[in-house]
Amino acid sequence: MTAPTAPGTDTVFAPASGFGRAAICVVRVSGPGTRRVLEALAGGPPPPRRLALRTLRDPTNGEALDRALVAFFPAPHSFTGEDQAELHVHGGLATRTGVLEALARLPGCRPAEPGEFTRRAFLAGRMDLSAVEGLADLIEAQTQAQRRQALRQLEGGLGALADAWRGRLVETQALLEAALDFSDEGDVAASVEAQAAERIAALAHEIAAALADAGRGERLREGYVVVLAGPPNAGKSTLMNALARRDVAIVSAVPGTTRDAIEVRLDLGGLPVTLIDTAGLRETQDAIEAEGVARTRARIAGADLLVWLDPVDAPAAPEAGGAPLLHVRAKSDLADDAPAADARGALALSATTGAGIADLLAAIEDRARGTVGDGGDAVVTRARHRIALERAREALDRAAATLAAGETELAAEDVRLAARAVGTIAGRVDVEDVLDALFGAFCIGK
């Protein structure tokens, strides 16, 4: 296990609340100079973990900056594991700017980089890497299902599972090393190797089960993708506006009006859905429209669900495959006594009158829930996790084969590689290649 790198020697600060006028702005301070910061601005640190009303003063001239609530969190019992403070100042621009400028003038104190508070928490061992990713996902969560999944990961669900797997792998590696040590005692070595083989098989089965989730965690995190497609003038853009409940797409009687894909995010029953309106599919000599058609086909290829529209007053066109299909007969208000569904099970709807819209949304939600679940049981939530577990499973498969062939030393090495792969999930081994990208995605005050 690689020990976390010690946090930096600088003291950093940043606003932890949104910009713009507000009642309160929270300014966070973390680092070895936090006590000196509070002495300079607030007359000293208040009792630990208690809010105290203080007058904040500019240390250069003693001018009062604000009457604020101040909290102090001594190391190691803080979010970052360092001495940390919070200044709850009034949220006006001038007040916030004055406090931040005063902090910047203090020796050894500088503005924080994006994600630096969380990075320091990770380096101090306060959070593992999977929990950091859960925190990032919680900040970005737009639906209740995303929130549940992110919170579960932040609370250590994935990290604890990865640590348990890694611990068992290390124990299995120790068994194989012991078998090598007792190789001259055939009965002892055979017994130890049999125990190791059982453990390898059990771990490989558990990891394979975690991987066999149809990508639910990643899809929930990124959003279930629904593409509206069909021939020109099928009513896709009108339907898009109706589902979005605002005008996001241009509607025209001229075929080929939509040239590029238009995306809208929806919350359907707590599930994140990305709805994409696309150019009508047809043969065309127009270079721009042809590019739009090509982009439509690319979107269809990457969709979780293809909603294929045909006007109810026109013959059904052959749909483009590549994704699960939901057929819709649009513009039902143009046909007398249009059935709610045709022989293919296509839903009849009118974006103009609203008829059938609720049925379509319910059908999309049902498909999405069947694919991504509700965020409560997915183990893998990022491509990084899936790659690590796939490497671990492959290493365990090799270990089982080499152990069965009597090559115990090679099996021990493969088990070590599996433990290393699983360890990268929680950051128990070197993961510098992912740290900069991850923490750079955080907001400044986090």
If we measure between CA atoms, which residue out of 49, 38, 55, 53 comes closest to residue 72? 49
- Among candidate residues 154, 148, 162, the one with its CA nearest the CA of residue 220: 148
Q: CA-to-CA distance for 367 and 109, rounded, in angstroms?
A: 52
Low-confidence winner among 211-215, 220-224, 233-237, 285-289 (lowest mean pLDDT):
285-289
At 338, the pLDDT band (50, 70, 90 cuts) reads low
Burial of 81 (0-12, 13-18, 19+ CB in 10 A): buried
CA angle 4, 7, 13 (to 5 degrees): 145
pLDDT digits (tens, 9 = 90+) for 93-108: 999 999 999 999 999 9
Res 251 pLDDT > 60: no
Round the average pLDDT of the chain to a whole number and report it.
83
Residue 424 and residue 388 in contact, taking contact as beta carbons nearer than 8 Å: yes
Write down the pLDDT at residue 180. Answer: 83
Please write down the long-range contacts of 202-205, taking CB distance under 8 Å and 24 or more positions apart.
203/165, 203/168, 203/169, 203/172, 203/396, 203/418, 204/393, 204/396, 204/397, 204/400
Provide the pLDDT for residue 3: 38
What pLDDT was estimated at residue 350? Answer: 81
CA 216 vs. chain centroid, Å, equals 12
**pLDDT score at 2:** 39
**DSSP track, 316-378:** PPPPP-SS-EEEEEE-GGGSTT--SB-TT-PEE--TTT-TTHHHHHHHHHHHHHHHHTTSSS-
The Cα 160–Cα 163 span in angstroms is: 5
Q: Which CATH class is domain 134-213+380-427?
A: mainly alpha
Report whether pLDDT(346) > 60.
yes
Question: Lowest-confidence range among 51-55, 249-253, 400-404?
Answer: 249-253
For the chain, percent of residues with pLDDT exceeding 70: 80
> What does the longest C-alpha to C-alpha distance in the chain come to?
88
Reported confidence tier of residue 145, pLDDT bands at 50, 70, 90:
confident
- Residue 318 CA to residue 338 CA, distance in Å, equals 20
Residue 252 pLDDT exceeds 80: no
What does the DSSP 8-state code read for residue 296? H
11-126 classified as CATH 3.30.70.80: no
Would you kindly state where each structural domain of the chain is located, as residue ranges? 11-126, 134-213+380-427, 220-372
| pLDDT-based confidence at residue 89 (cuts at 50, 70, 90) | very high
**Tokens matching residue 86:** 């919070």
Q: Which of 56, 51, 68, 50 is nearest to 106 (CA)?
A: 56
Q: Confidence band (pLDDT; 50, 70, 90) for 391?
A: very high
In terms of DSSP bridges, do strands 84-90 and 64-73 run parallel, antiparallel, or are they unpaired? antiparallel
CB 29 within 8 A of CB 37: yes
* CATH H superfamily, domain 220-372: P-loop containing nucleotide triphosphate hydrolases (3.40.50.300)
How far apart CA 347 and CA 360 sit, in angstroms, is 7
Virtual torsion, Cα 30, 31, 35, 39, nearest 10 deg: -70
Instruction: Assess whether pLDDT exceeds 50 at residue 423.
Output: yes
Per-residue pLDDT at 433 exceeds 60: no
- Which helix (DSSP H) or strand (DSSP E) does residue 94 occupy? helix 93-104
Q: Is the pLDDT of residue 109 over 50?
A: yes
Residue 316 has pLDDT above 90, yes or no: no
Per the model's pLDDT, the better-predicted residue between 149 and 255 turns out to be 149
Q: Is pLDDT at 422 greater than 60 in this prediction?
A: yes
Mean local confidence (pLDDT), 395-407: 94
Bigger pLDDT: 233 or 266? 266
47: Cβ–Cβ under 8 A, 6 or more apart, which residues?
72
pLDDT for 191 beyond 90: no
pLDDT band at 4 (very low <50, low <70, confident <90, very high): very low
Please state the rounded mean pLDDT for residues 353-370: 88
Please report the pLDDT score of residue 236 as a whole number. Answer: 80
- Give 132-190 as a DSSP string: HHHHHHHHH--SHHHHHHHHHHHTTHHHHHHHHHHHHHHHHHHHHHHHHHTTTSHHHHH
Q: Count the Cβ atoms, other than its own, within 10 Å of residue 320.
A: 18
Q: Both tokens of residue 211?
A: 């991987």
